[in-house]
Structure 1
């Protein structure tokens, strides 16, 4: 009876384990389907799993007697299946490129797992041997045999990629093209796009894999991954120009200005020249490979020891080879940087010699061209195209051709230099040799869509190219013909002007023709679609004078045509500036105020023209002074009064005029004048309109007036209703700039309790939260200004003087969003985010809850110990104490600190809250762990006095701690000494005091 009970219980238990194992196999098979790398191997593995599931189901159906050994065998199999499932899940979740680099390990894991599972199956087979009714033993035996013999293989592409990676790491001097080719192979192997954005995203994910705890524990794998990343980072396909520039300038700034002499070990004892491919003999002597091979072909004795030497035993001296390469690169960097001064000198021979060296360096290595770009040589070389010396111009064109070839970014850089295309076109008309080089450069530039339009707009370019296309020089004719075909003209009138001087007769008849002809010419100018170049040419050739005369004509239709023409031509800032200087504003204002000519469409055109003139003041020529369109405050009052007296279409233009003038150099005076006439009251009313265009402009102008207004202005006109209107706009508007302006107004409102209460009553936190979250996750529909203004608006609710407001913000989930914005936000966003986090952190010390004492009874503890905050010494949470450590904000703040921009000081302020008062030692330890001390030391050399002083005060306190003084004191000595020599008197004393902590100065030093 007892045996029967045991058997029944065992049977039930074995059945449960079989069911669980079959379910685990199903889950493992599903996991293999999501694996995108090693698909063929995982499919083979999945086939085995399917056969195992079949065997187990048959076993489950049979009348086989259940034994302890069978139960144990199934349990072992269940465990091995779960291991295999985890392998498949890991491969399905991890970065595809990371998996590719580790495919050999994955194959080994698959083979090991397959063998382990087959052995577990073998145990099941053994457990069933005693049962003569078993029909599955043969199937299990065959399956075990197949699994033990199975092999998994890498694809040919995978093998080639891994071999190429190993070779690149071993060689260490592979160039950019090698890395780019490797990147493309990897992308094709794992099935990702070769677009730069996609590649960069994929490899950023790869870098994040390196932070994986499991990987970091495997030191060998971590080191290998770092080597791979270093190799791939040489590819420009996954590295932005800014990243390369920062890396280059950082390295170059550390080199000094003097070239280093080569070490004696760099010279080959046979040739006496610096070695390129050094090899070491069995006797430890190093020679240039080609030299020693030639020597040994004639004599098999070592040149130095005279002992027998076998050529097959020569080994590359990689350490020396790398040292020579680093020495060459260092000196080349210094050479390229130092030649800028020589090229810009007045000594023509020195300029020619330096240009010749640059040409050689361009040809020598692709990397040298990249360094020249980072040294900003393009504007210098373009400038040389205007000098008189033919040889200098020729060298400059040759180098620019080399830089532009097969490089879209460099084409853009050349074209963006002022007058660059004009200078190159001018060279087309010079000596044959120079003309050919200019043609080659223009042809190369014309392969860029943006640049090709610029070439056709240069006066005389088409005529010169047409002439060259019929040249006796076959290659030049071919190049000119190809360039002409590359040019795309977006305005046929430019072509007509270049070929037939179309605008010449038009301007002639505009100024001296009959009234009917003048009308026709003016109408042509008002209706024709003109390029910017055409508009500039027309004004340069005198179109403004006749059109201004037509403004004073008695015929209303003539006035309208003249205004429409001026509206068309004034869209170019240079033309608008010229119109202002030559007195066009007065007549236009007279027309706008004239009730006799008050048709809505005409007033709209006049207002739009004045708006163009106002806009031209926002981007003046560098050598010209801005001229305001308003002569007095009375002009401001007269124009703004029309806002209440005109239709919506005119209101829109008038508001645009005030928006741009408020942002000009005279903006402060305009804003002050508007506030004095209570413009805010009118704008508040316009914000409630249904007309989107007028409302949007009203909100923008309102935002301008809040930039520097006093509290009285706002408290007089801005109440709860106005705030609710602004938030309604922020939530419902489909115009991003309108939303940004609405949030800008909120961020600029006075920070008094009454205003804050109104904002909270209007659900300000919900709106701000939406702006921050959507701005961080949906950059396609939310521009950075929305997030920036929302981050600034939030600062008013995080002040430590009102912890109740702080708690509302924290409970609404803002703090994690703020920490994310420290990573993804703009500089201005990071600055305001850091301010909020600093204000939160100032309250943390007082809000950190004391940990509960553990109750121990008869040696037993009845409660788990609470985790104490390493800085505040109590229990911290995001919602209760707003702790930076709980928010994981310390490292992001340190990264902002390293950026050394306008957000840097706010980040430093936030971090320094961790070492306030008695928290010094605990907080310093946290800052050390976050690698914050080195960036703080760098701030000692900051050009911003307040930032430098804050860093100095903080380090003076922290260097009282022995461990910090010993670890970081050495790197701080030099900037501290510099402060004692150049700083203010108070900073000199504090720096000296810090040096005393570091035992560099005596406490009684005269510096005190």
Structure 2
């Protein structure tokens, strides 16, 4: 009998051990830490979290991305007594120890790891720094400010057809001469079909099983099915590059377009995010613009959900990388909303909006539009207050490449502003300082007025210091601005007599440079951006 009792005890023990190892239901776990919640709370967006996890995220100003692709709203927190009671009852039933209160430092470490991962994922999309932008435009003429380093790689110079050198472009004698890049994008060509006629073609093309499955969900009348379809599409196109091409079909694009203006946050966010992923492929960029997405992205940028606005700015940036899209995006009215987005509370929205504007202002027509919108004083104000100074300076450099932009910047006292920044210690990086000198260099082309304003701002003294102590790029551009001020290579004010005393007072000697023809002659008319 004792043996039987011992045997029964062993059976009872094994059952208890099995029960204690039972995994808790997913809804009992905090989405951030993955641990059983001891003090569950409901946040404004409806999800349940461990209270301390919400507190840590709030303290670190971090909002995680959930599995369905959305971000929770931590503005309001309410104790979830129902789920707390359910968790306690489950623990008692399964003989599991009640979850202890989490430790702040442990949760903080977990959240910081998620922050690092989120940053890495963000950089895996299209994220370039100001330094990369400057590196990408190292040896191109000041007329165009070459493209940023992106997945497109280095692209050819569309403006060199009139140059006598493959390395540089001599600045046109007439500042009013329009830049060669004046062809309208194909989607606006009078000989082309409408965008929808172009995209909806070959209806007999076979549809892959993967596309068919996604289309079934995207076209469903059930919001839940739409959400699932978009979450799947977003995940597929984020992780599989080949899928970005195979799934960028007229049917998929049409379905995404119909869901972008949804009032359901999960639907709208994932629709725009999926479009960003598709736009990463060079071959898709023009197709997306031709499919009529730009007006929808503008609407989202104006009044969409916050996370949707981040993705809309990213999509416009990505689409603007294609030369054939630049004019179209400007014509369709994206410039002013992107300017407004520079003031967004979201860093990602500000970042991508600035880069979108940088690429769009590589086109003459968009530069003129920007000037007519009266953006120059706003951009200068942002630079002076340190608001995205380096990126905004890149936009100003592009604007200064047209007569209208230079005039507007000189009218807005840009020379004095830029010289003041260089004289002070407010600039946050060497890249920003380089961009500041670059903007002065852009303003110096063919302008006697610049020389007078530079003299009033005592620019020679500041530029002389930069020429001696700055980075290689900054020294080179400072040197060339000084040469412009002396009338060297400009064709205007060749004798530069009014600046003799100014240079002498700054410790400079006036030496007449004589440059023979050939490469050296081109050098004074090119830039090293």
Q: TM-score, normalised by structure 1?
A: 0.27
**Higher helix fraction: Structure 1 or Structure 2?**
1
Name the structure, 1 or 2, with higher relative contact order (CA <8 Å, separation 6+).
2
